[in-house]
Structure 1
Amino acid sequence: MLALTNVQIVYDNTIEAVREVSLTLGKGRIVALLGANGAGKSTTLKAISGVLYPEDGEIKAGQISFEGRPLAGMAPDRIVKQGIVMVPEGRRLFDQLTVEENLLMGGYTRSAADSRRGLERAYALFPRLTQKRTTVSGYLSGGEQQMVAIGRALMSEPKVLMLDEPTLGLAPQICEEIFGIITRLRHDSGVSILLVEQNAQAALAVADEGYIMENGRIVLDGPADKLLRNEDVREFYLGFSEGGTRKSMREVKHYKRRKRWLS
């Protein structure tokens, strides 16, 4: 469905942010893209969405294709019409607009009838937003803003939904709710989800496959349950030693310097 093949992304013609990245996202699947800050995860999502240009980023090599058609060079609005939508890190709502106005902005390419149906689906998925529909978005909690951001993305009925750090800065209970929504979306609508997330354990728990990025390249990939059992992933990303006890930050920092997959 969505495939990246040996993609290289460069900023300002000098900084290589992504190097020979290949990954696939099948229909109705959830793929987790994991890695530390600066690994190239968000850049990868921006390349798929066609929004590298504001930061002088450019795909220098490789190919991004969706349903067999290349996406490179396609305008962002056309990529949305193809069925690929991204929820960016930090939500980025229109703070001065109401919840419903923000949702309607996500359906700007749809007919009025489609937008009405989209609103009904969004409120069914996020019942707490029903009572907040006339509330200015800037006054919502972080969790409610994230729900609006996801609901806005769903207004265009995407085939692929890309989520960039959807639980960043949210309370544990809200994080659990967001991950539950991600699972429900795949189950109820069959949408494919590419999930960038710092909470590796929670992300792999809902994903079918996972990819781990380091310094702009994929260093490890496989079924999510297999990655959860992988000794390297458990030590570095989940903070557990072989005996199952949580490692100290000092030990994690030491392990960061000796990761076996980079040796």
Structure 2
Amino acid sequence: MLNVNNVQIVYDNVIEAVRDASLSVDEGQIVTLLGSNGAGKSTILKGISGVLYPEDGDIIGGTITLNGESLIGRKPDEIVRSGVVMVPEGRQLFEPLTVEENLMMGGITRSRSGATEALENVFDIFPRVKEKRSTIAGYLSGGEQQMVAIGRALMSSPRLLMLDEPSLGLAPQIIAEIFAAVSDLSKQNNVSVLLVEQNAELALSIASYAYIIENGRVVMDGPPDKLMDNEDVKEFYLGFSESGHRRNMRDVKHYKRRKRWLS
């Protein structure tokens, strides 16, 4: 389905944010990208979505294809029409509009009947969004806004849904509800998901494959059970010491990566 091959992305023709990164997402698969802040995860999603230009970003090498067709150089709306939709970090709703108006903006590429059907599907996935359909989006809680943001993306019936930090700043109960919905979408609707998430343990719990990115490069990949058994992943991303006890995250954050991670 989606194939990213040796992609290189720079900002302002100077700053290399992603270097020779490769990854793939198969149909109906949930794939997660793990890495520290600034590793290049969000930049990869923006490159796939065609929205690097507002930040003077450019893809200067490699290929990005969806079912064999290149996405590089295509306009963002064309990429959405091809079936690839991103939910950005921070949700970015139209706050003065109602929940339903926000959702209908996501269905702008569909016919009226198609958008109406998609709206009902979103309400089935997120019942609390239906309860708030007439509420001004800016008055919603963070968790409700995230549900609306995901629902808005689903209005175009995507084949590939990309989520950038969906759990950021949310309560654990809301996070569990959102991740359960994402997992059900993949299983029941055959929607592929590319997930960028700081909560490694949570991301690995629903993913079928994972990539770890450091300094713009993929340094490790594999199925979740393999990565969760890796000592480096346990220490740097899951917060466990070599003895198996959970470390204080402040200690983990300041711990230096071993050189072989960047070899």
TM-score tier by shorter-chain length is over 0.9
* Unaligned runs of at least 5 residues, structure 1: none
Instruction: Please give the alpha-carbon distance, in whole angstroms, between the structure 2 residues aligned to 1:257 and 1:93.
Output: 37
For the 8 Å contact 1:205–1:225, the answer to whether it is kept is no
SS of the residue 1:42 aligns to: helix
Preserved CA contact (<8 Å) 1:100 1:134? yes
Q: Are positions 1:117 and 2:117 aligned together?
A: yes
* Distance verdict in 2 for CA 1:27–1:243, change over 3 Å: same
Mapped partners of 2:104, 2:50: distance in 1 = 22
Deviations 1:109-160 (CA, angstroms, capped at 9, x unpaired)? 1000001101100000000111211000000000000000000000000000
Asked whether the 8 Å contact 1:232–1:260 carries over to 2, the reply is no
Residue 170 of structure 1 deviates from its aligned partner by 0.2
Aligned residue number for residue 50 of structure 2: 50
Contact kept, 8 Å, 1:2 with 1:24, in 2: the verdict is: yes
SS at match of 2:124: helix
Quote the offset at 1:253 in angstroms: 4.1
Q: 1:106, 1:217 → 2: CA distance? A: 32
Paired with 2:258 and 2:152, the residues of 1 have a C-alpha distance of 42
- Aligned identity (percent) is 66
2:198 aligned partner: 198
Query: CA separation in 1, counterparts of 2:193 and 2:10?
Result: 25
Alignment CA distance shift 1:250-1:170 (3 Å): closer
- Separation in 2, partners of 1:262, 1:21: 13
Q: Distance in 2 between matches of 1:134 and 1:239?
A: 42
The Cα offsets for residues 67-125 of structure 1, whole Å up to 9 and x where unpaired, read as 00011000000000000000000000000000000000000010000011011000000
Quote the offset at 1:262 in angstroms: 2.6
Structure 2 CA distance for aligned equivalents of residues 101 and 121 of structure 1: 15
Q: Which runs of 4+ in 1 moved over 3 A?
A: 257-260
Match of 1:248 in 2: 248
Question: 1: CA distance between counterparts of 2:224 and 2:80?
Answer: 28
1:25 matched to 2:25: yes
1:258 to partner: Cα distance:
3.2
Amino acid at match of 2:97: L
Letter in 2 for 1:238: L
- Equivalent-residue separation in structure 1 for 2:244 and 2:47 (angstroms): 38
3-state SS, counterpart of residue 256 of structure 1: coil
- Hey, what's the Cα distance between the residues in 2 that align with 1:249 and 1:169? 17
**Given that residues 232 and 259 in structure 1 are in contact (C-alpha distance below 8 angstroms), is that contact kept between their aligned partners in structure 2?**
no
Kept in 2, the 8 Å contact 1:30–1:209? The answer is yes
Q: Distance in 2 between matches of 1:88 and 1:223?
A: 25
Count of aligned pairs:
263
Shift of 1:249: 4.0
Q: Tell me which residue corresponds to 2:210.
A: 210
Distance 2:254 2:245 in 1: 16
* Aligned residues of 1:163 and 1:193 also touching (Cα < 8 A): yes
Which residue of the partner structure matches residue 177 of structure 1? 177
| Shift, 1:250, TM fit | 5.5
**d(CA) in 2 for partners of 1:230 and 1:259?**
16
1:61 and 2:39 correspond = no
Q: Which residue of 1 aligns with 2:142?
A: 142
Amino acid across the alignment from 2:122 = A
After superposition, give the CA deviation of every residue in 1:207-238 in whole Å (9 maximum; x if it has no partner).
Answer: 00000011111011011121111111000101
How far has the Cα of 1:203 moved from its partner? 0.1
Residue identity opposite 2:11 in structure 1? Y
